[in-house]
Structure 1
Amino acid sequence: MKRAHFPYSADRSWLLLPVLIISIISLTFLLTLTSTQTKPTSSESDFSFHRPKFTFSERDSDNLPKLPRFTYLISGTKGDGPHVKRLLQAVYHPRNYYLLHLDLEASDSKRLDLARYLI
């Protein structure tokens, strides 16, 4: 027995009210945000055109924060040796730490090849 196919034109008037309420709330929120922003004073706007030059001296380097160090765990399986090398080249930085792992499915020759690549 075949089902009667009705076109997809169900009454969706119940969707109109929530959409209208959300739109009004969003519009009110955006208007309050834009109206509470202060305009820059003349001294602030002049500053954007006359930026001071930044000079760096050795004594300033003590005040700067140390650069972050990241630790990477790069893992691979059988056949992933070239991918691991390429990924290592992409993320390498001398300050970072790297832990490379090839699982038991990778052959010993691939492990040695990766080790020789790193030396």
Structure 2
Amino acid sequence: MDRLAETWAAKAAEWRRVRDVVAQAGWPVYAPEGDVEGAEWAREREERRAAVLKEAAAAEVRRREAADELRTEVWLPAAPGRLIRAAAARAGLRPDEVLAQVAQRVTVSEDGTISVPPFTPNV
């Protein structure tokens, strides 16, 4: 409720300012192009609006990309786990980064066979 009261108080203050600008300039009606302060505020509002729209668009892109991602926890037996940790250490990566690179290279044949061509993990 306080936010609503603040908003209306700000609007009332702005209308009083506009009234005073019109009276001081002797205009028959308000002319926004002649109101330097109002024009500056309008420009700033438009910049904030454009920034919010740009961020909203970027957030939508991130949301769509996240919907395609797969996050999982993998428990590997000791031997494969050691191999992954060793490969990660040699490449200067974390084990999950090596597994992500493995997953990016997975191919699935027509008969459903899954394979990963040989590669060297890299940063």
TM-score normalized with structure 2 length: 0.29
Tell me which protein shows more strand as a share of its residues: 1
TM-score normalized with structure 1 length: 0.29
Tell me which protein shows more helix as a share of its residues: 2
